[in-house]
Amino acid sequence: MTTEIVETNPMRALRIGKVVVNMSVGASGDPLDHAMTIMEQLTQQKPCQRVAKQTIRSWEIRRREPIACMVTLRRDKAEVFLEKALQAVGRKINSKSFDKFGNFAFGIREHIDIPGVKYDPQLGITGMDVLVTVERSGYSIDKKKRGSSKVGHKHLITPEETKKFVSSKLGVKVGSINE
Protein backbone atom coordinates (compact mmCIF):
# COMPACT_ATOMS: atom_id res chain seq x y z
CA MET A 1 0.00 0.00 0.00
CA THR A 2 1.55 3.27 -1.13
CA THR A 3 0.34 6.62 0.02
CA GLU A 4 1.18 9.93 -1.52
CA ILE A 5 2.73 12.41 0.89
CA VAL A 6 0.90 15.72 0.88
CA GLU A 7 3.39 18.55 0.65
CA THR A 8 2.96 20.95 3.55
CA ASN A 9 6.22 22.87 3.16
CA PRO A 10 5.45 26.23 1.46
CA MET A 11 8.98 26.33 0.00
CA ARG A 12 8.15 23.23 -2.09
CA ALA A 13 5.05 24.76 -3.70
CA LEU A 14 5.28 25.34 -7.46
CA ARG A 15 4.36 28.60 -9.17
CA ILE A 16 4.56 30.22 -12.60
CA GLY A 17 7.81 32.20 -12.67
CA LYS A 18 7.46 33.86 -16.06
CA VAL A 19 5.85 33.47 -19.46
CA VAL A 20 7.84 34.44 -22.56
CA VAL A 21 5.90 35.06 -25.77
CA ASN A 22 7.88 35.03 -29.02
CA MET A 23 6.74 35.95 -32.55
CA SER A 24 9.23 35.32 -35.32
CA VAL A 25 8.21 36.78 -38.68
CA GLY A 26 11.52 36.37 -40.50
CA ALA A 27 11.55 39.84 -42.01
CA SER A 28 11.96 43.42 -40.88
CA GLY A 29 9.71 46.30 -41.83
CA ASP A 30 5.92 46.05 -41.99
CA PRO A 31 5.57 42.34 -41.03
CA LEU A 32 7.58 42.95 -37.85
CA ASP A 33 5.65 46.14 -37.06
CA HIS A 34 2.36 44.27 -37.45
CA ALA A 35 3.59 41.45 -35.19
CA MET A 36 4.69 43.96 -32.54
CA THR A 37 1.28 45.65 -32.67
CA ILE A 38 -0.49 42.30 -32.29
CA MET A 39 1.73 41.31 -29.38
CA GLU A 40 1.18 44.61 -27.61
CA GLN A 41 -2.59 44.19 -27.98
CA LEU A 42 -2.43 40.65 -26.58
CA THR A 43 -0.13 41.27 -23.63
CA GLN A 44 -0.63 44.97 -22.80
CA GLN A 45 3.15 45.28 -22.70
CA LYS A 46 5.59 46.74 -25.22
CA PRO A 47 7.59 43.98 -26.98
CA CYS A 48 11.29 44.19 -27.79
CA GLN A 49 12.83 43.32 -31.15
CA ARG A 50 15.16 40.36 -31.64
CA VAL A 51 17.83 40.34 -34.35
CA ALA A 52 19.16 37.63 -36.66
CA LYS A 53 22.38 36.01 -35.47
CA GLN A 54 23.66 35.14 -38.93
CA THR A 55 23.08 35.88 -42.59
CA ILE A 56 20.95 33.43 -44.56
CA ARG A 57 20.99 34.49 -48.21
CA SER A 58 18.36 32.03 -49.41
CA TRP A 59 15.87 33.56 -46.94
CA GLU A 60 17.11 37.11 -47.60
CA ILE A 61 18.02 37.65 -43.93
CA ARG A 62 21.04 39.71 -42.97
CA ARG A 63 22.97 39.50 -39.73
CA ARG A 64 21.72 41.91 -37.02
CA GLU A 65 18.49 42.55 -38.94
CA PRO A 66 15.42 42.64 -36.64
CA ILE A 67 13.25 39.63 -37.53
CA ALA A 68 11.27 38.80 -34.37
CA CYS A 69 9.74 40.28 -31.25
CA MET A 70 9.24 38.97 -27.74
CA VAL A 71 7.82 39.94 -24.39
CA THR A 72 8.35 38.55 -20.89
CA LEU A 73 5.34 38.47 -18.58
CA ARG A 74 5.51 37.96 -14.82
CA ARG A 75 3.06 37.61 -11.93
CA ASP A 76 -0.60 38.44 -12.70
CA LYS A 77 -0.03 39.38 -16.36
CA ALA A 78 1.65 36.02 -16.92
CA GLU A 79 -1.21 34.05 -15.38
CA VAL A 80 -3.90 35.98 -17.30
CA PHE A 81 -2.14 35.53 -20.64
CA LEU A 82 -1.33 31.87 -19.95
CA GLU A 83 -5.00 31.17 -19.23
CA LYS A 84 -6.00 32.62 -22.62
CA ALA A 85 -3.15 30.88 -24.45
CA LEU A 86 -4.09 27.48 -22.98
CA GLN A 87 -7.67 27.98 -24.17
CA ALA A 88 -6.31 28.61 -27.68
CA VAL A 89 -4.63 25.17 -27.76
CA GLY A 90 -7.63 23.37 -26.27
CA ARG A 91 -6.02 22.88 -22.84
CA LYS A 92 -3.79 20.11 -24.22
CA ILE A 93 0.00 19.99 -24.08
CA ASN A 94 2.21 17.29 -25.53
CA SER A 95 4.27 15.45 -22.92
CA LYS A 96 7.37 16.04 -25.08
CA SER A 97 6.96 19.80 -24.54
CA PHE A 98 8.47 19.59 -21.03
CA ASP A 99 12.22 19.96 -20.51
CA LYS A 100 14.32 18.28 -17.82
CA PHE A 101 14.03 21.32 -15.52
CA GLY A 102 10.23 21.29 -15.47
CA ASN A 103 9.63 24.16 -17.90
CA PHE A 104 7.32 23.74 -20.87
CA ALA A 105 6.54 25.38 -24.20
CA PHE A 106 3.82 25.24 -26.82
CA GLY A 107 2.90 27.03 -30.01
CA ILE A 108 -0.21 28.84 -31.18
CA ARG A 109 -0.67 28.66 -34.95
CA GLU A 110 -2.84 31.78 -35.32
CA HIS A 111 -3.21 34.59 -32.84
CA ILE A 112 -6.94 34.82 -33.59
CA ASP A 113 -7.39 31.45 -31.82
CA ILE A 114 -6.93 33.28 -28.51
CA PRO A 115 -10.34 34.11 -27.01
CA GLY A 116 -11.40 37.75 -27.33
CA VAL A 117 -9.10 38.54 -30.27
CA LYS A 118 -10.67 39.89 -33.45
CA TYR A 119 -9.18 39.57 -36.93
CA ASP A 120 -7.76 42.81 -38.36
CA PRO A 121 -7.06 42.56 -42.12
CA GLN A 122 -4.42 45.30 -41.93
CA LEU A 123 -2.36 43.31 -39.38
CA GLY A 124 -2.84 39.82 -40.81
CA ILE A 125 -2.44 36.55 -38.91
CA THR A 126 0.69 35.41 -37.10
CA GLY A 127 1.58 32.53 -34.83
CA MET A 128 3.58 32.57 -31.63
CA ASP A 129 5.55 30.44 -29.21
CA VAL A 130 4.73 30.48 -25.51
CA LEU A 131 7.44 29.38 -23.05
CA VAL A 132 6.53 28.91 -19.39
CA THR A 133 9.06 28.79 -16.54
CA VAL A 134 7.90 26.97 -13.41
CA GLU A 135 9.77 27.64 -10.17
CA ARG A 136 9.72 27.30 -6.41
CA SER A 137 10.35 29.87 -3.70
CA GLY A 138 14.08 30.32 -3.21
CA TYR A 139 15.03 30.05 -6.88
CA SER A 140 16.35 33.61 -6.88
CA ILE A 141 19.30 32.57 -4.68
CA ASP A 142 21.49 31.92 -7.72
CA LYS A 143 20.64 35.30 -9.31
CA LYS A 144 21.70 37.44 -6.37
CA LYS A 145 24.85 39.54 -6.66
CA ARG A 146 25.77 39.22 -3.01
CA GLY A 147 25.49 35.95 -1.14
CA SER A 148 24.50 33.92 -4.20
CA SER A 149 24.39 30.16 -3.99
CA LYS A 150 23.27 27.19 -6.06
CA VAL A 151 19.80 25.71 -5.87
CA GLY A 152 20.06 22.31 -4.18
CA HIS A 153 19.33 19.17 -6.17
CA LYS A 154 16.40 18.28 -3.90
CA HIS A 155 14.84 21.66 -4.61
CA LEU A 156 14.99 21.34 -8.42
CA ILE A 157 11.77 20.65 -10.31
CA THR A 158 11.26 17.47 -12.31
CA PRO A 159 9.05 17.24 -15.41
CA GLU A 160 6.68 14.90 -13.56
CA GLU A 161 6.11 17.50 -10.83
CA THR A 162 5.36 20.14 -13.45
CA LYS A 163 2.96 17.85 -15.30
CA LYS A 164 1.04 17.27 -12.05
CA PHE A 165 1.04 21.01 -11.31
CA VAL A 166 -0.19 21.93 -14.79
CA SER A 167 -2.95 19.35 -14.81
CA SER A 168 -4.19 20.11 -11.29
CA LYS A 169 -3.82 23.90 -11.08
CA LEU A 170 -4.37 24.93 -14.72
CA GLY A 171 -6.70 22.12 -15.83
CA VAL A 172 -4.49 21.04 -18.74
CA LYS A 173 -4.44 17.54 -20.19
CA VAL A 174 -0.88 16.32 -20.69
CA GLY A 175 -0.30 13.50 -23.14
CA SER A 176 0.71 12.64 -26.68
CA ILE A 177 -0.60 14.47 -29.72
CA ASN A 178 -2.68 11.51 -30.91
CA GLU A 179 -4.77 11.28 -27.74
- Entry pTM: 0.82
Q: Phi and psi for 175 in degrees, rounded to 5?
A: 180, -165
Angle at which helix 75-88 crosses helix 30-43, to 10 degrees, equals 110
28, part of any domain: no
The pLDDT score that the predictor gives to residue 71 is 94
Residue 52 domain-assigned (yes or no): no
Residue 138, in any domain of the structure: yes
Report, as an integer, the average pLDDT of 115-133: 85
Using a pLDDT cut of 70, give the percent of the chain over it. 94
112 domain residue, yes or no: yes
Residue 94, in any domain of the structure: yes
Q: Is the pLDDT of residue 9 over 80?
A: no
Residue 148 has pLDDT above 50, yes or no: yes
Mean of per-residue pLDDT scores for the chain: 83
Parent domain of 119: 12-22+71-175
Q: For residue 142, is it within any domain?
A: yes
Domain tally for the chain? 1
Confidence band for 21, pLDDT divided at 50, 70 and 90: very high
User: φ, ψ for residue 98 (rounded to 5)?
Assistant: -100, 135
The yes-or-no verdict on residue 130 having pLDDT over 70 is yes
Q: What angle do CA 55, 66, 104 make, to 5 degrees?
A: 95
Q: What CATH code is carried by the domain that includes residue 158?
A: 3.30.1440.10
- The pLDDT of residue 34 is 86
Q: Dump pLDDT digits (tens) for 56-88.
A: 777 777 787 888 899 999 989 999 999 999 988
Domain presence at residue 35: no
pLDDT for 29-55, tens place per residue?
788 888 888 888 888 899 998 887 778
pLDDT band at 6; cut points 50, 70, 90? low
**Residues 9-28: b if buried by 16+ CB within 10 A, e if exposed:** eeeeebebbbbbbbbbbebb
Is 65 part of any domain? no
